[in-house]
Chain A
Amino acid sequence: MSSSFILTVVTYGWFVCSLFYAVALLFKRNFFGKLAVVGSVAVLLMHMAGMILRWKESYNLGIGHAPITNLYESLVFGSWSVMFVYLLFLRRWRIIELGIIPSLLAFLAMAYASFSPNVESRIQPLIPALKSNWLIAHVITCFLGYAGFAVSFGASVIYLAKAKYEDRGLFRSVPDIRTLERFNYQVIIFGFLWLTVGILTGAVWADSAWGSYWSWDPKETWSLITWLIYAAILHARSIQSWSGRRIAILSVIGFGCVLFTYLGVNFLLSGLHSYGAR
């Protein structure tokens, strides 16, 4: 069995999970909630197995490296991280209804990685700039940060939807908005911590590879923009008038920045994260 086959199955797996989460959110069926969680854990393990297998396959090709070095691999890993972080928080918070957006994001990322003709899924050799021990630390920490913000985005959207439509009897099953707000804050802290570590490991790496810990390359700059926005959110939360709704909106904007940092910069701006000497 090849890793790409497993990862294709995983793509459908996330789709099915997001259906379960949708039912759990809209109709409060405990059974579907449990199914969604059990399914997610199973798909997450399979997802991980797929990545490990791909790692092994790269060694079989004689160009062994961790599977986090091109767009395809980063989408696969990003999708895994989002669900990993969601399930991590689920253990303590038990809010199954918030699973819909993380699982949908995981599905969309996997679908894009697997089916888009623009995404090269072949295992490629490492370019010289990426041959460093910092690679794994940098990528994993950045993605944990992104994933935290993705989960926060999901919670914010549901917060806003619940605040708006609750009187019409929708989203009754979702915990009260105070709990959502507290959950959101905790996830943002998690994302902020890991994004900080991610940016800093990137800076240390850049210093050892290119001789400059900061050079205002668009990717760096956008990660700083994201960091500044979440730093603003963390400060704004202590201002009394800046409660729930505004924080949720800022968090949605923040996630927009995350997406732009991750994908937009590569597609829309020039000369970025241009690895390699030439």
Chain B
Amino acid sequence: MKQVLDNCYRFLTSLRCAVIILLLLAGASILGTLLPQGITEEGVLALYGENSLKAWVIILFGLTDLYHSLWFQALIGLLALNISLCTAERFPKTLKIWSHEDKELNPERLRKFTNFSELASQKTNEETAAQLKNFFNSHGWKKLTENVKEQKWAGVFVKGWAFLFSVYGVHASVLLILIGAFVGSTMGFKGTMAILQGDSTNVVNLMRKNKVIILPFEVKCDKFDIQFYPDGTPSEYISEVTILEGGKEVRKATIKVNDPLTYRGVSFYQATYGTVIKRAVVSFTDERTGEEIKLELTTENEEELPGKNTVVQLMDYREEFGGFGPAIAIGMLEEGEQPKAGWILVKHPNFHGNRLGHYRLAVVDVEPTYYTGLQVKRDPGTWLVLIGFVLIVIFILATFYGTATKVWCVVEKAGNSTKIYVAMKSSRTGLIDEKFSALCHAIKKLL
């Protein structure tokens, strides 16, 4: 049993595991872009058939909301676990390398390095050691250890030594972003709000849930406006809103795409818009008698056609109906008959389809109003995520372009002259040969 656990742990802390998780996440994400997202269970059954295996699998694994499904989040959790365990496993080792003190420094040890060089000087070993120390000091090297003995001097110098830790910075930033996302999804909300021009509301419909949130203040839409370029394409969508607290105006603001409003931690973004009508004047002509009745209809209440035992109501409005311009939908209930409803074209009063029962209908006047669709969110995790964004870029730069270099130097008296042994190691192997020969060249010049 212990063996199995050990193996599991070893696998979880391995690079291979990290690569596999990254590729699995990539594969799962691909799946999510190939299947339609955000459709209901009924939708899936309608799309793939009641008894199909595909529909069953899709529903079982929540593939229509894949990125929020339990197993996908578990995969992200696994990545976080892998990162944490790898850090726990490797960080102490890096710390050891970072603080390692070389006690026994002798030429034999240095000889084993790939980058090793042997130089000579005619000066005394004390003078040479002083020269070298001075050189390293003035060229941005930091002294790690120094070992002075009779006739022998040894020194260890480092440059960019903190870069040893930059990869942990990248991984910590990834964790910070994931934590921020988690905070946002558990402690914040995201929803939409539709407000008619002139109306106010405090109800937010949550996304992906059949729930609402009531804000402690109201948002009133004073005006919604679309501006156009000369060629007719929209240039700007603008909502002018007022925030009301207890019925009192506390703030006026303009919300545009790319220009949201934030009030008491809740942000409002321009997301969509539409038109509705609240009122329409319609004439009803009884085809049996030729009698014409004009009525003002609203979406809120039904109206009675006087003396006809019939009620009518305004039901819906479309700005564009099958290429014939705007149309309104009217419902009609005549005593003793089935209820009827139909679309009436606003701009074509003589259209033969403008009928309901035995009445010809014509729209005399409509008053369309805009409503603005705002996206509403509160996300206390955003700051963590944004800090994570900045840090990850800094640490990726540090990881791939920063170099931690260590140089070992031994100066030894050899008869009348002095011998200098230099060795170098670096966290990035790419350019170490060139750097080492440049260093040796500089030291040679010095001597």
Residue numbers of A with Cβ under 8 A of B are 62-63, 124-129, 131-132, 182, 186, 189, 192-193, 196-197, 200, 203-204, 207-214, 216, 218, 221-222, 224-225, 228-229, 231-232, 235-236, 238-239, 242, 265, 269, 276-278
Contact = CB atoms under 8 A, between A and B. Distances in A.
B236 A128 contact: yes
Contact of B37 (A132, A216, A276): A216
B16 interface: yes
Contacts of B258: 128-129, 131-132, 208-209
A184 to B, nearest CB: 12
Interface string B2-20: 0000000000000110110
- Sorting the interface of chain B by its residue count into under 10, 10 to 19, 20 to 34 or 35 or more gives 35 or more
A235 B385 contact: no
B15 A231 contact: no
B320 interface: no
A235 B15 contact: yes
A124 B181 CA distance: 36
A228 B190 contact: no
Contact of B272 (A192, A204, A242, A277): A277
Nearest to B393: A197
A200 B392 contact: yes
Nearest to A240: B15
B389 interface: yes
A125 B231 contact: yes
B22 to A, nearest CB: 4
A67 to B, nearest CB: 17
B37 to A, nearest CB: 7
Contacts of B18: 232, 235
Nearest to A132: B258
Interface in B1-45: 15-16, 18-19, 22-23, 25-26, 29-30, 32-33, 37
Given A209-B257, A211-B260, A229-B23, A127 B32 contact: no
A192 B373 CA distance: 37
B223 interface: no
Given A128-B234, A128-B258, A132-B258, A212 B377 contact: yes
11 contacts: A128-B257, A203-B385, A210-B271, A211-B190, A211-B375, A218-B33, A225-B26, A225-B29, A228-B25, A239-B16, A242-B19
Given A128-B237, A207-B382, A232-B18, 14 more contacts: A125-B231, A131-B236, A186-B430, A192-B396, A204-B389, A209-B269, A211-B260, A211-B269, A216-B32, A228-B22, A229-B26, A232-B26, A239-B19, A278-B272
B237 A277 contact: yes
Nearest to A241: B16
Main secondary structure of the interface of A (DSSP, over half): helix
Nearest to A131: B258
Given A207-B382, A212-B190, A127 B234 contact: yes
Nearest to B267: A211
| Ranked 10 nearest A-B pairs via Cβ | A211-B269, A228-B26, A232-B22, A128-B257, A125-B229, A200-B389, A132-B258, A211-B377, A209-B258, A189-B400
B20 to A, nearest CB: 8
B397 A193 contact: yes
Nearest to B68: A216
Contacts of B272: 277-278
B19 A235 contact: yes
A232 B25 CA distance: 11
Contacts of A200: 389, 392-393
Contacts of A218: 33
B27 to A, nearest CB: 9
Given A221-B29, A221-B32, A277 B393 contact: no
B275 to A, nearest CB: 12
A259 B236 CA distance: 32
